[in-house]
């Protein structure tokens, strides 16, 4: 039989080796008789278990606070109105608002933080693993690239949180914009994908159409430094337009815009 991939059967591993090297997606799975091969079935089972585990794995707040303190961040832990994981999964609406005690703690502490241009929130979402692994690196890259000109709030760590929880947080702090770093829904090849959601002028009732999302931040996806670059471009444009969402298209990779300053100045002159 020829070794030329073009002449091999469509199900041959050799015919798809180059393409498989570029993706973790399941493509051109082979078969044994009328069934899938045992190794493919077992690999699917492992990845499915990892995805399910990522949904239920709790966020290690203490470890996250220790790591962020080492970077010089002040932190505050919050909780949504969903009292546990089961309720969080069954009642998405509870994950979109703060528990009363967290709202009170935030209101009591916000006076000492002054004007906030960008408020970062780390949220477990549907994959605490993503936040644990990648959020500190994104924050470090963001602060390094933005420099002292960007007034960042403390890092708020929110458990049982949905994206829209950032709207209430940003509104209570009167922040110009809120950044949610949240674990995305796990996939069979990506149980630790982190999403960044930017909302200008956050307030309760904002819709998903009023946000911009940078997705797939992880080792096999978008690097933290690249995510920070895109985020700061979006933040500068959000201030210019006075809005985020469908009105703000990500053109951060356009050649004509690449030379623009990396760190926005969101305050006064």
How does pLDDT run across 129-138, given as a tens digit for each residue?
999 999 999 9
Q: pLDDT: is 144 or 257 the higher one? A: 144
Residue 3 lies in a domain: no
d(CA 165, CA 173): 13
Give me the domain span that covers residue 90. Answer: 56-257
- Is 55 annotated in a binding site? The answer is no
Residue 10 lies in a domain: no
- Give the number of domains in the chain: 1
Q: Classify residue 182 by its DSSP letter.
A: E
d(CA 74, CA 144): 16
Residue 62 lies in a domain: yes
- Is 246 annotated in a binding site? The answer is no
d(CA 40, CA 100): 48
Name the percent of the chain lying above pLDDT 90.
Answer: 65
Does residue 257 register a pLDDT over 80? no
How does pLDDT run across 9-32, given as a tens digit for each residue?
555 667 777 777 777 677 777 777
Residue 122 lies in a domain: yes
- Is 121 annotated in a binding site? The answer is no
Residue 68 lies in a domain: yes
Mean pLDDT of the region 193-206: 97
Residue 208 lies in a domain: yes
CB 106 within 8 A of CB 78: yes
CB 120 within 8 A of CB 179: yes
Model pLDDT, residue 258:
47
What CATH number is given to the structural domain containing 60?
3.40.50.11240
Residue 93 lies in a domain: yes
Residue 139 lies in a domain: yes
Model pLDDT, residue 53:
56
């Amino acid at each position: 039989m020829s070794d030329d991939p073009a002449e091999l059967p469509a199900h041959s591993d050799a015919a798809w080796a180059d393409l498989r090297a570029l993706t973790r997606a399941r493509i051109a799975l082979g078969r044994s008789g009328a069934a899938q091969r045992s190794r493919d079935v077992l690999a699917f089972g492992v990845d499915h278990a990892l995805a399910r585990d990522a949904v239920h794995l709790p966020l290690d707040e203490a470890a996250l606070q220790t790591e962020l303190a080492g970077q010089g961040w002040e932190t505050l832990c919050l909780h949504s109105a969903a009292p546990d994981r089961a309720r969080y999964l069954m009642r998405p609406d509870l994950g979109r608002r703060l528990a009363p005690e967290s709202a009170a703690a935030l209101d009591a502490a916000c006076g000492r933080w002054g004007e906030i241009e960008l408020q970062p929130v780390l949220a477990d979402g549907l994959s605490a693993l993503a936040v644990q692994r990648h959020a500190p690196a994104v924050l470090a890259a963001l602060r390094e690239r933005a420099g002292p000109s960007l007034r960042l709030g403390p890092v708020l760590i929110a458990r049982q949180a949905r994206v829209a929880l950032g709207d209430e947080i940003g509104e209570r702090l009167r922040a110009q914009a809120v950044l949610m770093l949240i674990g995305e829904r796990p996939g069979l090849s990506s149980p630790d994908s982190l999403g960044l959601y930017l909302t200008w002028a956050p307030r309760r009732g904002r819709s998903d159409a009023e946000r911009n999302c940078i997705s797939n931040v992880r080792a096999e996806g978008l690097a933290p430094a690249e995510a920070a670059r895109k985020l700061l471009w979006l933040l500068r444009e959000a201030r210019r337009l006075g809005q985020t969402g469908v009105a703000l298209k990500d053109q951060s990779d356009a050649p004509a815009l690449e030379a623009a300053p990396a760190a926005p100045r969101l305050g006064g002159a």
